[in-house]
Structures are given as C-alpha cells and as structure tokens.
Chain A
Amino acid sequence: MDLHFTSARASEEERAAIEAAAAQDAVTRRSLVLPVLRAVQQRFGTISPGALNYTAAALGVAPADVYGVATFYKLLRVEPSGRRVVHVCDDIACLGSRVEALIARLESENVAVERSPCLGLCDRPPGALVEATDDSDASAVASATPELQPGLATPTHIGATQVRLLRRIGRVDPESLDAYRADGGYEALRKAFELGPQKVAQEVVASNLLGRGGAAFPAGRKMQAVAAAAARPHYLICNADESEPGTFKDRVLMEADPFAIVEAMTIAAYAGGCERAYIYIRGEYPLAARRIAGAVAQARVAGLLGNDVMGRGIRLDIEIRRGAGAYICGEETALFNSLEGKRGEPRSKPPFPVEAGLFGKPTLINNVETLANLPDIVLGGGAAYAGIGTPASTGTRLFCLSGAIERPGLYEVAHGTTLGALIELAGGVRDGGRLQAILLGGAAGGFVGPDALEMRLTFEDARAAGATLGSGVVMLFDETAEMMPVLRRIARFFRDESCGQCVPCRVGTVRQEEALERGDFALLGEIGQVMRDASICGLGQTAANAIASATTNLKLWQS
C-alpha cells in the first residue's frame, strides 16, 4: 500500500518504543496497532503526530486509520498531556460526596484527574487508577493518597455457600505454579487429554453450563460448533474485558487465581481445536494483567503451554492483549475488531463467531468466569456439575455485592439461592438500613425493589421477573439513596460508551440522557424502544433497560 504521511516525525525514543512493541509475531501487522499505541501512551503519556505516523508506517496502516483507532479508546490520548493522570471512578457504586471530595483534593494538589466509568473496585469505593509514564510517579501519588493504593491492599470479602470457583482465592499463592499444582492445578488438563477433545465438549454440553458474560449462551454447543467448523485456524478468546458497572468478579479471578484461567483456556482450546489463544484483559486491570502474564510465563517454562503441551504433541500458546478504555470491546464482535487493530465497533450478526469470528475464522469466545468452570466440569463430569443449582441454571455463580451492603465483596452461591439469602450472606443492608432498590446485572441490567428478595437467582427466575443476572452485579441502595442521580449516571455511562456506529445508539443514548434530565418520561419510553429494536449490538439494545426498570419496578415515575 502506498501510504502518505504528514511531515511530523517521531523522536528517536518514540521510534525505539514503537519498534520494540511492533517486533512480535502476529497474524496481521495491523493487529499490532493497539499494542503499539498502548506502548507509546504508557511511555510518553500521549501519542504525538510523529509517533502516529511512525506507527502507521511500521504496521502498514494508513495514518487516518490509526488516528481513528487512537481516538476510539479513552486511555489513549492524542493531545499533549501530563505524565501522570489519576482516573477516579464516579460511576454508580462510587458516586457521591466521598468521590467528589477526593477529586477536589487531588485537583487542589495539581494532580491531573479524569473521571472514569466503573473501574471494577466497587467493593472498596472510591475506585481509582493511577496512570503514569513510570513507576516512581505511580508510587508517589499512591503514597500521597492512601485511597489510591493499587492492587489487593484491602482484599475483598469472599463468601460462599458452595466454594468452587473461589476455593483458591486468598489461600493459594497466585504467583506460584507449584502452589497451584500442589492444590490440584493442572489435573483437569491431564484428564482432558485422557478424555480427548470430543468427550470434553460432550461433558460441557452435559453440564448445561451457560455463559456468564451476560448473554447466557450454552457453552458446550458453542465449543462443539467451533470444533466442527471446517475453516482453519480456529481461535480461542478469553473475554476478560470486564467493564459492566458494578462487576469485579473476573478481576478477582485473574488476580487471585490466574493459573486456573490459563488452565481453563488450555482445556477450551483443546476441545475447540483452537491453534491460537488470546486473552483480552481490560486496560484498567493492571494487576490482573501482571498476574496472568506471570502465569502464562511459568506455564510456558513448565511445558504447559508451547509447542508440546504436557508432552502430548499439542501446540498452544496464549497471547495477552490489553484493552484501552472502551466498554464496547467486551461485546464479542467489537473485541474481534479491537484485536484486529480496528476501531472497536461491533459487527452485524450473522455471521456468528463460531463461523466467522477473529480474522474471519471460527472463534470460541468465552467470558473468564465461564471458562473458570471448565476444570471442575472435566474433573467431576458434566452430569455431576448439572446436579448443582437448578436444571435450567446449573452450577454456582459469582455475585459482586456492592453499595449499601454490610460486607461488600465477591460471593459464590449455587444457582437457585434466593436474592435475600445472598444479601444475608453478605451481612444484610449496611448499618441495618432499609432496602430501597437493587441493581441486578449491571447498568445493562435493571432495578428490582425489595419485593424481589424471594426471587431465586437463576436465569429462568430472573427472566420471569423481567430482570437479568447479567454479569452478577447485586448493588444495593438503601432508603436514604437518591435514585435520580444514579439513573443520570447510567444514562451518561451509555452516552460515553456508545461506539457511535449506529444512529439508534449514537443519538439515542444522548437523547435518553437529555429526556431524563428534563423529566420527559413519555419520550424516554419511545427512545428506549428504538434502541432496543434497531441498535446493532447489545450495548444499544440494553442501554434503556435500567432506566425503564426504574418506572416498571421502582415506580419512580408513571410511565
């Protein structure tokens, strides 16, 4: 391709950083656009016109296209900026006076602050993420502001009635493969190799495992469809772009039990006949990315990844890719485009990922929690797994409890447990307060009132109640909470996170926020209908759900 460039030139340091990031094997050169831009952003705090030109030249992509990608992601900047930025979450779990006071104080200390959507730290609000061009800057800010201690300084509450997915959390060293193996790690992969790929997929079908990312698609059927697809190669993707407001389950799994995710991905790739695997980790999750990278590196050294996995002649490696601030990239087809070095705009379905996904090839894509169930299914058998929970909602489920709850944290219960029992497990409403509302399933989910405490937590009960378990968000609001600011924050979230591709979502999310602001509730219903009916993807189709549920379930206004 004959590319044209402006006269802007990259500095020597920029050229070196770009060349280093671009020097890796990839399916297409273009698929390195995001890793290279991230490297430039991280090193220089901005992407200069010269660096953008050099990136475009190095990867053979037009500069206008690279600019389109760079301006799509909120953690990439094309304007000059300071070398240190603190992203402070002012999303629904953190919303309120404490976060405003924190922002005011940081600004008075001349720290560059950016308001952020949910950072997945809802169990210890207010959440913050320090972005700095080198580590010394990061620690300087962190020590000046104790709230900004990164990582697991204050571990989340962990609770369970059935401990399966959380059994190693806080107990087994997440940085040691030996510790993982001593705790039964990699027995499932060994068993999977004994069973063979078809039998593994059959067990997953028998388990009736449904996807935990929000769409609840049968995981076994997806696995079989990819395995049976004629086109080659097949890809496996672990969707770790957890960004649904109120959700932090995948972060905790990756931070505290990373080898389990790596082993689960290896099993899934084996069953789906996938030659290449990616894990796409949210840009705002630095510790999760470090832990997964450590686990992958140790697994390679131990021959559990690479050219001859466990001496079985199976070839598989896992590539770690990072997001850069875009909720939409958790949508599977947007994630494919992001991995391919394009803007994270969703694609039209059909074709579905099992036929034509990443690079147009059959792709098995699952959420972190979904994959985390595979080792148990392989070891104990699909039938045993299906015995947990209810017939239509098998297994256990992770719930992220936040808001006005006594012990915010991550909880695991068998499907079928009631919402009330789950809340009791976490100590009930904070300070013995009275419950006003619960947000179930995140911003794309909906509100229920105290009358829903008897509801069993299953896919079918939630559906019957007009709610969704979504990504496992259970966010409580007590009687003192003002709900309109919460609704306005949700409306702002969708306006900010719409990719802008289709009209119903691009303009609809703006019109929804405006109508909510001026209290035009009749119009809200009309706007919600077109977003649900005519948007390309799940973001637009669910962007009106929570606001609609505020009238149907909370009776905040007459519809």
Chain B
Amino acid sequence: MAELTIDGAAVSVADGATILDACTASGVQTPTLCYLESLTPVNACRVCVVELEGSRALVPACARRAENGMKVATDSPRVRHSRKMVLEFLASSVDLSTAPEALRYCERYGARPERYAAGATVSQPVKIDNALYVRDYAKCILCYKCVEACGTDAQNTFAIAAAGRGFDARISTEFDVPLPDSACVYCGNCIGVCPTGALMFSSEFELRRRGVWNEDQQTETDTICSYCGVGCTLTLHVQENEIVKVTSPVENGVTRGHLCVKGRFGYQYVQNRPLEDP
C-alpha cells in the first residue's frame, strides 16, 4: 500500500501500482500514447509526465512506481508546457489524421503544430507488400508498442524492431525487407496496439481510400473464435453487413487484446454468400 497525494488530494494504491494508477484512482485523466496495460511500459512518448516534488526532471506517470509520501502535480505550468510541446512535436512531424486520441490531447493542451510549418517530418510512402496489412510510417510516433507486441509481450515473433537513430529512428524488419520475407506471422497484434493508424488492416485501409469507412455505421459484436480450444473473444466490426475488422478487448483475460492470424483474418467463411445468378 502506498499513500501519496495527486494535486493535493490524498490517495492510496496497492503496492506496485504506478503514479498513473494513482491518478486514475483519484479521478485525474492522464494522456498516454505509448502506454497500454497489456504491454511493458517503455515511457518513450513522455506525454504522461507529471511533476514529482523533489525530482529535478518531470517523471513518466505510466512507469514510475507510486511510493509513500510522494507529492504529485499533474496540471502545473511545467507539466502543461511539456505535454503541449510533446504534442506539438508529434503533430508537426507525424501525420496524426487517423489518431483521434492524440488529436484530442492536442486540443486539450492547446498544441500549435503550425509553429513548425517548415520543419522536418517523417513523411514517406505507404508500404503495401502483402494482402493483410498496410504500414504507413508517416503516421508512426515510435511508441514501440508494435515491437513489444511482436516480441516478448505477446507474439514472440520478433519480425520488427526499432532501427536507425535519432529522428531517423524507425520501426523496421531487417534491411527493411518486405513483410512476406520477414518473420511476420500475420497475427495482427501490432495493428491491434497501434495508437495512430500507422499500422492498419488492408480492409480498413481500402475502405478509407474509397472514402466509405464509417465508424458511426459500424456495429461491434463479440463472439468466441471457433478455430481452436483456447476460446479467444473476437470483436467483429461490421459495416453494411460486412466484417471490416476483427479485434479483441484488451481487458479480456484470455487474449489481453491479442489474437492469431486465424482469429484475426480467417473470417471469410462467415460471409460466404452464394454468387448471384448472372
């Protein structure tokens, strides 16, 4: 048990809990981008930083363990400035058009990415090298979630890793070989955790390209995967009576949001329809 204060309000959390957990427990909404409860925190995006009394620099709420006696400020001028600047840096260098959460944070903190209008960006062509995924690294904020999901946090496939350095750092296969030449097993777990739409199912990408992707019209139906005995929960996203994407709830105790290639992509048999008589 650790007792601390968040913005002056006392809160107690279980041993091992983070400052983020304590913020949530005291009703403080904390922006996060690289954090996901099913993955090891990498605390790379720094959008969740808070001011901790006695600490020279700000600390990442998502990774820092809560300790007795901590005094945490989540809305001080320093915190607001750092969060605003991090969001400006991302919004000015990365295409966030399919990252609604990040865009909401930008609004909340008054980020003005237009201040860096002529600045460097990670703009680059979309990678389409297989039938199931599209990788658009112009939208990548380098949160490392896909690398973790591909690695020891879920799939243990290790098809991708961070490569390069500094502003040139990027997620890559070895020598940037196309996915079909890599170790990729098409589980889609990288797409499941991507917070910006840089990784996308081809089905969604294609509908977006045609301008007909419409989440308001979609229904989500939970079912159990029929392929094996594990019993993964599948969430079928359906638009106009077609399955357009399959996910799994991150809070699900069986999957923690992760699936395999069959559960994720093997749904065609559900919607096989007799060909209409010509």
Contact = CB atoms under 8 A, between A and B. Distances in A.
Nearest to B161: A68
Contacts of B156: 1
Contacts of B141: 503
B69 to A, nearest CB: 15
Contacts of B43: 348, 502, 536
B278 interface: no
B124 to A, nearest CB: 16
A533 B49 contact: yes
B89 A503 contact: yes
A533 B82 contact: yes
Interface string B39-64: 00011111101000000011010011
A58 to B, nearest CB: 15
B174 A530 contact: no
Contact of A508 (B57, B89, B175): B89
A326 interface: yes
Interface in A335-371: 343, 345, 348, 350
Interface residues of B, number: 51
A536 B57 CA distance: 9
A62 B93 contact: no
B174 A514 contact: no
Interface string A51-74: 011001000001111111001101
Interface residues on A, range: 35 or more
Contact of A533 (B45, B47, B57): B57
Interface in A504-559: 504, 506-511, 514, 523, 526-527, 529-530, 532-536, 541
B63 A348 contact: yes
Nearest to B79: A533
B78 A506 contact: no
Dominant SS among interface residues on chain A: helix
A68 B44 contact: no
Interface string B8-48: 00000000000000000000000000000000001111110
Contacts of A506: 142, 166-167, 169
B86 to A, nearest CB: 5
A1 B86 CA distance: 37
A464 interface: no
Contact of A514 (B119, B160, B169, B173): B119
Contacts of A530: 81-82, 85-86, 89
Given A64-B158, A503-B141, A72 B165 contact: yes
Contact of B183 (A3, A500, A511, A526): A3
Contacts of B274: none
Interface of A: 1, 3-4, 6, 49, 52-53, 56, 62-68, 71-72, 74, 78, 326, 343, 345, 348, 350, 495-504, 506-511, 514, 523, 526-527, 529-530, 532-536, 541
- By Cβ-Cβ distance, the 6 closest A-B pairs, closest first, are A500-B169, A62-B158, A4-B183, A507-B89, A530-B85, A68-B161
21 contacts: A6-B177, A52-B174, A56-B174, A63-B183, A64-B163, A67-B173, A67-B175, A68-B162, A78-B175, A495-B166, A500-B166, A500-B167, A503-B141, A504-B85, A506-B142, A507-B93, A510-B119, A514-B120, A529-B78, A529-B82, A533-B82
